[in-house]
């Protein structure tokens, strides 16, 4: 059976490599084009990119693929979908160009996440926001996934919010270095150290979950980078309307099922509830459910906010690359992909 | 000028070694006796202990000192003060025994911290709680210092609490491995990982600052061990009565001065306010003020609690060993040491 | 088709857990019994052991299995093979007991590795040493695999030694903490640090490869533990008879094929030759070939010894657990397993 | 007493910051000018540089100093000495320009280390090579210190080489990330990982010690970056003429005394011989002798080369910045500084 070809924008970076890896054995999609900067265009993929993911490399034919420019006209005919791993600055112009050319753009970039016409989707949580795509003119569109911390936070809050609306939330994070791309953080800042995030990560983690949950509540985040390769851990202290008990919260987390149609990359269970006192941990738990599950642990009464817990997910499988591919799967399953 | 001899209880462990190191060049005190377990008693200190602190070792004569049992009768005559770095289980019986023998016991153990007759003191914050010693019968007494996270938290909250009483506080921590002693954490739990604290650290961090500040407020802590050798970082989100502005909070922090008489180990400034977006960091900031200063950074408005900031201190200099020695200095400066 | 049941000795430790994990989906073998210390015997496996491997846990039925004592009489009838992950001290008595009871014992322990009647086997390298089993009296036997550093060293040297006998070798290692078991290394010794191995690792790394290659040559090793979870890296500087060129060595490494019959866990290629200047690296390369491949890189002329290179393998997949299972596969493929 | 003013070239980088720190309390020298790139020239030092060293910052007046261009004409009159922390590319033109202007340039850059007219000096080892300065025309000159690995290696080999000339040496390194400057290594390459050095570090470590010892011998190095902030550890396997015993080598190491006149930054003892099986370790031993001592441990018989040992030193105190300042002290102590 033939698979749908996909253009990968920003194919040489860390998230781009993860997209390549995930498409290699995907049941529905395959690599259609590898787009990168002008400096890389025209080269073999293997020459344009230094592969830095763990384990076996892709087969040799992948490295022999040609890299093309990040422009619709550079992409071979017959491709109508693009997965974007572009940095924000480039995404700002490149993604609208692809949309204008009729592409369905599924983006991990932050540029358009908070645009009111652009859905910000975690398929298992808010698939119905796909309807916002109709507000975007023409056949092309841009669809985004959240920041790699906002994904597990949004998933962990979803089953709670539907029963006991979130009234306020305090968050602290222990974030992996892969979230910063490559070269990303300097080793000097991380070795035997932790590094408070100087950028706007805290703002993203504050506003994106509200858009996903379709709610508005005070939220306050502290984001710190730590010596972990992959996997973002967060402590969440939340005030929920109705003040549910620990048992009710555990039951809601355990009972949560995806609101999307069945998708190949969505794991069962989606939320792994751990009752051990020192879990979840990034190195041990990030790869649950092939890296697509969210771990929640230490659900306890919070004397200040009502309820508290840890949540964790792999930031390039469940966040970033995997988040984008799940959105692509959702588009396909709901018949919303542009016809080639 | 002669210095006052001090018995160190638990002299072979990590905190005990730090006490030995700090007494070596102390202007008021000197090593009077090195007490350890029965297994170590009778050995040379150099044979009983594996020295594991950074940098040059103590001079050879220290390693030639004899180790004696952790019992008042094993300590040479003329010593009336003991610094205790005992584990909680041992402290429970050994410290009362020393007190009963007329010793002033200055302890880092958690066993008696919450005892209503035992002061829990950070000299610069609540020196007047020394008066509680009068409630303890006899000439001996037990005086304690807080948990190594509660020290910087107590110091950072003190200047705020006196103007705008603390109403509630949410805390998350990035804690160094030295806080667990030796061998402490397994490297497997820490390498490329972070490790949620399975013990009762969160309870200590919740209740001890309330005793120090003489206040009662809801408090909720999450404690996570990270790949840092020394220095505990905390994010604090606090609700303060009167809801002060960021500028008022900064002014209070900068204007804070010690409430104790001048003490040799108390640094100036006590609180280092950092305005850089990625500070404080444990490896870079733990040794400010010879390891005795507390760093506070990222003081910002918190949409949930009102005010938020990071605070950090060295957990064996400012916490543990240094905290105990400061209390010893306070006792001497206030004339409360038992006469030999 | 029915699979052969296997008893796992030392089933609750880190290597024991890896054995459980590897047997779960094995085409030839299955878990027959879980043996552990007297303290654990009688408990559910899930109660006796704290699972500490990455990713999803085994299915629930595994945790419901009963733990039995490490004694032949405690093992259910019909089992005639034991995989031993015992510590050396226990192995010394338990393994001979199982052998005396007619078991084929396939051991990762170091106790009998250098015994002249006990084969020390890497299946792809020296499978013919299986014949030494005939020297052991009775139907039972003990078969061992090498130390987790000696495995990749033995594999990397094998294709060279058969053409240009090894005359001398200098080795340094960057070893992962999982090689020390749990709790193993203290985090204090590893955080922002490296830890020269104080034990007898260097001796093992010196003598075991000689037994595997059936040769005798001067060998000198330095072993240092580093902040890596899994994967031992070694630098090898070797003097080879005939002084082959870099190109000849590369050709020999690339051309090497297993000397064993086809085995399910043996990867193709066995040796991954990497030509990038900063490879292999433990975190990126340890999982090549499902963790069973050996990476070799930086093959260069050595001004002192003639040839030098790095080699690397996963120490609990290719070493320890995987090494034992490969030996078990070899026994089955060669018809040497005791009949049940 | 007035101190000699010194221009620091490359003052904003990591080594430049260490030079600033070391000059602050130096008995003979003081900061005369802070030179940096055109982008920084004209700014306050505090605005041009992000301070990244551990502990308390320099006093405020240092951050108020003006940064000037890296050119002799930009430096205030009355300064005739420059400490260079320039990167190799810039050093190539800037250092000769300062020399031509009559400056004594004391450089940490690698550009001229192997120039036959430029001395490469460790003061305690080969101070008499200062005479080579006479070969450089004019009153100015360039004097260099070795690579930060070559310093401890040169010091450890010196007492051996004078008795038993080095015939060959194999080296492996566990190197700290600060050796790569800032941002230097990517955290992705270091977290839970080690990173074989892809550059020319191995060549430097091979050739520089030979120039320092005035000898020629085969030498082979493997250099690997590890998750350590400061402190390079090396394993050394050496063939020495006359094949001394372990005891003789230990005696030579312990008996070594500096060949230079007394210098303020040279520690006593220069070589710390450690007899514990797991020492030296970078985090614990790098700061011996205020960071200026070299630790040597595990001196043992090497079955391949004759003798083996570990050596370690702080790479920015004893290497880089401290190495340059020691050379400056040597120039002053021998009356070779250009008159102002």
Give me the number of domains chain C comprises: 2
Average pLDDT, chain D: 97
End-to-end alpha-carbon separation of chain A, Å?
16
Six-digit token string for D289: 């002798």
**Claim to verify: residue C9 and residue C42 sit in the same structural domain:** yes
Q: What is the SS3 assignment for B103?
A: coil
pLDDT value of position A339: 86
Question: Do B90 and B104 belong to one domain?
Answer: yes
DSSP D70-104: SSGGGSPTT--EEEE---HHHHHHHHHHHHHTT-E
Q: Kindly indicate the confidence band of residue C339, based on its pLDDT and cuts at 50, 70 and 90.
A: confident
Residue C178: list chain B partners with CB under 8 A.
Answer: 188
Confidence of residue A340 (pLDDT cuts 50, 70, 90): confident
SS (HEC) of chain A: CCCEEEEEECCCCHHHHHHHHHHHCCCCEEEEEEEECCCCCCCEHHHHCCCCCCCCCCCHHHHCCEEEECCHHHCCCCCCEEEECCCHHHHHHHHHHHHHCCCEEEECCCCCCCCCCCCECCCCCCHHHHHHHHHCCCCCEEEECCCCCHHHHHHHHHHHHCCCCEEEEEEEEEECHHHHCCCCCEHHHHCCCCEECCCCHHHHHHHHHHHHHCCCCCEEEEEEECCCCCCEEEEEEEEECCCCCHHHHHHHHHHCCCCCCCCCCCCCCCEEEECCCCCCCHHHHCCHHHHCCEEEEEEEEECCCEEEEEEEECCCCCCHHHHHHHHHHHHHHCCCCCCC
Residues A17 and A155 in one domain: no
Cα A135 to Cα A137: distance, rounded to the nearest angstrom:
6
| DSSP characters over B255-298 | H---SSPP-TT--SSSEEEE-STT---HHHHTTGGGGT-EEEEE
Residues A179 and A307 in one domain: yes
What integer is the mean pLDDT of C249-275?
98
**How distant is the Cα of C11 from the closest Cα of chain A, in angstroms?**
19
Q: State the Cα–Cα distance between residues D110 and C277, nearest whole angstrom.
A: 21
In the annotation, is C148 catalytic?
A: yes
Q: Under 8 Å CB-to-CB from A214, ≥6 apart: which residues?
A: A126, A129
Contact A7, A95 (CB under 8 A): no
User: Is residue A338 a part of any domain in this protein?
Assistant: no
Residues of chain D with Cβ-Cβ distance to A177 below 8 Å are 187-188, 191
Residue A340 maps to a domain: no
- Tell me how long chain D is: 340
Whether C283 sits inside 8 A of D226 (CB atoms) is no
In this structure, the answer to whether residues C156 and C135 fall within a common structural domain is: no
Whether the per-residue pLDDT at A251 is higher than 70: the answer is yes
C241 and C212 within one domain: yes
Q: What is the mean pLDDT of residues B230-235?
A: 98
In terms of domains, do D184 and D198 share one? yes
Q: What is the pTM of this model?
A: 0.97
Could you tell me the CA-to-CA distances from A41 to A30, A63, A68, A82, C233 in Å, in that order?
20, 14, 5, 17, 36
Measure the CA–CA gap between C45 and C39, rounded to whole angstroms: 12
Q: Residue C1: what pLDDT?
A: 65
Please tell me if residue A194 touches chain D, with a CB cutoff of 8 Å: no
C289 touches chain A (CB under 8 A): yes
Q: D187, D220, D305: best mutation site toward chain C, by most C Cβ within 10 Å?
A: D220
What are the tens digits of pLDDT across the range D264-296? 999 999 999 999 999 999 999 999 999 999 999
* Cβ contact A11:A20 at 8 Å: yes
Confidence of residue B340 (pLDDT cuts 50, 70, 90): confident
* Residue A1 confidence (pLDDT) above 70: no
Bridge partner list, D236: D171, D309
* CATH code for the domain in which residue B198 is found: 3.30.360.10
Instruction: Give me the pLDDT at residue D339, please.
Output: 86
- For residue C340, the model assigns a pLDDT of 73
In a domain, B284, yes or no: yes
Contacting residues of B for C177, CB less than 8 Å apart: 187-188, 191
pLDDT at D1 over 70: no
> Do B307 and B329 fall within a single domain?
no
Q: Assess contact for B184 and B178: CB atoms under 8 A.
A: yes
| Mean pLDDT, range C237-266, rounded to an integer | 98
Q: Examine residue C339 and state whether it is found in any structural domain, yes or no.
A: no
pLDDT at position B1 over 70: no
**Could you tell me how many CB contacts below 8 A there are between chain B and chain D?**
32
Q: How far is A93 from chain B (nearest CA, A)?
A: 29
Residue with tokens 């358009």: A112
pLDDT in tens, C179-208: 999 999 999 999 999 999 999 999 999 999
**Is residue B184 less than 8 Å (CB to CB) from chain A?**
no
Question: Considering CB atoms only, which of C14, C185, C283 is closest to B187?
Answer: C185
| C-alpha–C-alpha distance, residues C6 and B336, integer Å | 69
Q: Do A274 and A220 fall into the same domain?
A: yes
Min Cα separation A297/chain B (Å): 10
Interchain CB distance below 8 Å, A186 and D186: yes
CB C7 within 8 A of CB C75: yes
- Paired tokens of C95: 């393994």
Q: How many alpha carbons lie under 13 Å from residue A110 in its C-beta half-sphere?
A: 15
Give the whole-number percent of chain B exceeding pLDDT 70. 100
> Average of pLDDT values for D44-53?
97
Q: How confident is the model at residue B106 (pLDDT cuts 50, 70, 90)?
A: very high
Is a pLDDT exceeding 90 seen at residue A207? yes
Active-site option among B161, B197, B232, B272: B232
For B148-168, write each residue's pLDDT tens digit: 999 999 999 999 999 999 999
Interacting residues of D303 by C-beta distance below 8 A, sequence separation 6+: C206, C218, C219, C220
CATH number at residue C73: 3.40.50.720
Q: For chain C, which chains pass the contact test of at least 3 CB pairs under 8 Å?
A: A, B, D
What percentage of chain C carries pLDDT values higher than 90? 99
Residue B155 lies in a domain: yes
Active site residues of D: 148, 232
The contacts of residue A246 (CB under 8 Å, 6+ apart) are: A299, A300, A301, A307
Whether C195 sits among the annotated catalytic residues: the reply is: no
Would you say A108 and A325 are in contact if contact means Cβ atoms under 8 Å apart?
no
pLDDT range class, residue C303, cuts 50, 70, 90: very high
Say whether both B301 and B163 belong to one domain. yes
Residue D338 included in any domain: no
* ipTM for the complex shown: 0.96
Q: How far apart are CA B221 and CA B217, in angstroms?
A: 13
Q: Kindly state whether residues D79 and D184 are assigned to the same domain.
A: no
Question: How many residue pairs from chains A and B have C-beta atoms closer than 8 A?
Answer: 131
Is the Cβ of A192 closer than 8 Å to some Cβ of chain D? yes
Share of residues in chain A with pLDDT > 90 (%): 99
The span from the CA of A144 to the CA of A115, in Å, is: 10
Looking at B35, B49, B148, B311, which residue is catalytic?
B148
pLDDT at B336 over 70: yes
Domain of residue B229: give its range.
150-315
Is there a domain that residue B338 lies in?
no
Q: Give the minimum alpha-carbon distance from B114 to chain D in angstroms, rounded to a whole number.
A: 33
Q: How far apart are CA B26 and CA B264, in angstroms?
A: 8
**Contacts with A, B 75-114, CB within 8 Å:** none
State yes or no: pLDDT of D340 exceeds 80.
no
Same domain, C165 and C115: no
Average pLDDT over residues C312-340: 96
Mutation target to probe the D interface, by most D beta carbons within 10 A, among B56, B176, B280, B318 is B56
Say yes or no: B284 contacts chain C, CB-CB below 8 A. Answer: no
pLDDT at A148: 95
Asked if residue C340 belongs to a domain, the reply is: no
Across the interface, whether the CB atoms of C235 and D172 are under 8 A apart is answered yes
Check: CB of residue D308 under 8 Å from CB of residue D302: yes
């Amino acid at each position: 059976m033939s698979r749908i070809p996909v253009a990968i924008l920003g194919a040489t970076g860390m998230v781009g490599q993860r997209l390549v890896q995930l498409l290699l054995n995907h049941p529905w999609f395959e690599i259609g084009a590898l787009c990168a900067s002008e400096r890389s265009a025209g080269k073999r993929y293997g020459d344009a990119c230094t592969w830095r993911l763990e384990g076996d490399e892709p087969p040799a034919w992948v490295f022999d693929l040609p890299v093309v420019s990040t422009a619709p006209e550079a992409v071979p005919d017959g491709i109508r979908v693009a997965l974007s791993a572009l940095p924000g600055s480039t995404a700002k112009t490149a993604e609208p160009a692809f949309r204008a050319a009729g592409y369905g753009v599924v983006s991990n970039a932050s540029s358009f996440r908070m645009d009111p016409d652009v859905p910000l989707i975690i398929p298992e949580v808010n698939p119905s926001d796909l309807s916002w795509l109709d507000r975007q003119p023409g056949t092309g569109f841009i669809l985004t996934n959240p920041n790699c911390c906002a994904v597990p936070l949004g998933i962990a809050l979803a089953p709670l919010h539907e029963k006991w609306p979130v009234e306020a939330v305090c968050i602290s994070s222990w974030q992996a270095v892969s979230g910063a791309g490559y070269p990303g953080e300097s080793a000097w800042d991380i070795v035997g150290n932790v590094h408070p995030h100087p950028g706007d990560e805290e703002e993203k983690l504050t506003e994106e979950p509200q858009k996903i949950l379709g709610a508005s509540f005070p939220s306050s985040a502290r984001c710190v980078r730590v010596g972990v390769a992959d996997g973002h851990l967060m402590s969440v202290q939340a005030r929920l309307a109705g003040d549910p008990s620990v048992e009710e919260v555990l039951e809601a987390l355990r009972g949560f099922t995806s609101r999307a149609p069945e998708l190949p990359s969505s794991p069962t269970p989606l939320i792994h509830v751990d009752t051990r006192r020192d879990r979840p941990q990034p190195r041990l738990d990030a790869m649950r459910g092939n890296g697509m599950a969210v771990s929640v642990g230490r659900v306890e009464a919070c004397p200040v906010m009502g309820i508290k817990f840890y949540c964790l997910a792999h930031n390039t499988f469940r966040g970033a690359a995997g988040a984008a591919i799940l959105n692509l799967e959702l588009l396909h399953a709901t018949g919303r992909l542009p016809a080639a």
